[in-house]
């Protein structure tokens, strides 16, 4: 196992943490097994995440989890994948070498010939810059709801709040996302 800073023991990023912006044509790709362990990463992922191939191979994808990301969003992601569906989501990541970066992720199940889900695939691109402040705001409110609660319970509570909050505007998460991208 390559030497890597433990995600759990890394300090919380300070205000001084810098942003690494994706170029408009960057496509950040990874594939995982059913547990979310990385089986493939493209060159763009390695560059943006500040990692080498040996550092990421076989590692859990939470390797680049940013502590400001609400568990409720990952709960939505795994629930959707578990239902055999694809999902688009805004994700804030933290590169191994420090900077944070925002992505608009598309995550899909990969099926074998019999239709069984055997793996997952994610392609990410730069989100609209205008989307970031409202996403940051909503995710901060979710994190607030998760604070002090056991992980699972917190994620369920914040996802329930998010669903209700968007529902009151007549939007699903995906519709909200495309409205922020200017595509709806
Ligand atoms: C294909 C795929 C791609 C993923 N990409 C990311 C990612 O870029 N960043 C991230 O934090 N989690 C990603 N995840 C989710 C992680 O597996 C994990 O659920 C998340 O980081 C929360 O980790 P934790 O619950 O252990 O804290 C991905 C999962 C899959 C299946």
Q: Is residue 4 one of the residues assigned to a domain?
A: no
Q: Which atom of ligand 1 is nearest to the CA of 65?
A: 11
Identify which of 22, 61, 152 to mutate to test ligand 1's pocket (most ligand atoms within 8 A of the CB): 61
Residue 1 confidence (pLDDT) above 70: no
Residue of 140, 126, 166 lying closest to 69 (CA atoms): 140
The structure tokens 């070498």 sit at: 97
Q: What's the pLDDT score for residue 17? A: 83
Domain contains 165: yes
Chain-wide mean pLDDT for the chain? 93
pLDDT, position 12:
55
Q: Cβ(87)–Cβ(104) under 8 Å? A: no
The count of domains in the chain is: 1
CATH of residue 58: 3.30.450.20
Rg (C-alpha) for the chain, rounded Å, is: 16
Domain that holds residue 59: 17-180
Mean pLDDT of 105-124: 98
The band of 184, judged by pLDDT with boundaries at 50, 70 and 90, is low
Confidence of residue 10 (pLDDT cuts 50, 70, 90): low
Give the residue, out of 32, 65, 71, 119, with the most ligand 1 atoms within 8 A of its beta carbon, to mutate for a pocket test.
65
Asked if residue 7 belongs to a domain, the reply is no
Q: In what order do the strands lie in the sheet with 100-111?
A: 38-41, 28-32, 117-125, 100-111, 87-94
Residue 5 maps to a domain: no
**Rounded average pLDDT over 95-100:** 96
Residue nearest to atom 3 of ligand 1 (CA): 122
- Residue 2 falls within a domain, yes or no? no
Residue nearest to atom 20 of ligand 1 (CA): 62
> How confident is residue 150, by pLDDT bands cut at 50, 70 and 90?
very high
- Please state whether beta strands 87-94 and 38-41 pair in parallel, antiparallel, or not at all (unpaired): unpaired
Is the separation of the CB atoms in 85 and 29 below 8 Å?
A: no
Q: Is the CB of 102 under 6 A from ligand 1?
A: no
Check pLDDT > 60 for residue 131: yes
Alpha carbon nearest to ligand 1 atom 5, residue: 61
């Amino acid at each position: 196992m390559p030497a890597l800073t433990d995600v759990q023991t890394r300090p919380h990023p300070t205000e001084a943490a810098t942003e690494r912006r994706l170029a408009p044509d960057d496509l950040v790709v990874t594939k995982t097994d059913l547990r979310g362990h990385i089986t493939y990463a493209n060159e763009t992922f390695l560059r943006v995440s500040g990692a080498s191939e040996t550092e990421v191979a076989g590692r859990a994808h939470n390797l680049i989890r940013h502590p400001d990301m609400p568990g409720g969003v990952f709960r939505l992601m795994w629930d959707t994948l578990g239902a055999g569906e694809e999902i688009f989501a805004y994700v804030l990541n933290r590169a191994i070498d420090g900077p944070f970066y925002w992505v608009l992720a598309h995550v899909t199940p990969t099926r074998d010939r019999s239709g069984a889900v055997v793996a997952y695939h994610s392609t990410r691109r730069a989100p609209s810059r205008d989307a970031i402040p409202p996403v940051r705001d909503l995710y901060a409110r979710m994190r607030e709801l998760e604070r002090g609660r056991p992980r699972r319970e917190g994620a369920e509570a914040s996802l329930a709040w998010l669903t209700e909050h968007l529902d009151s505007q007549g939007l699903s998460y995906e519709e909200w996302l495309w409205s922020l991208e200017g595509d709806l």
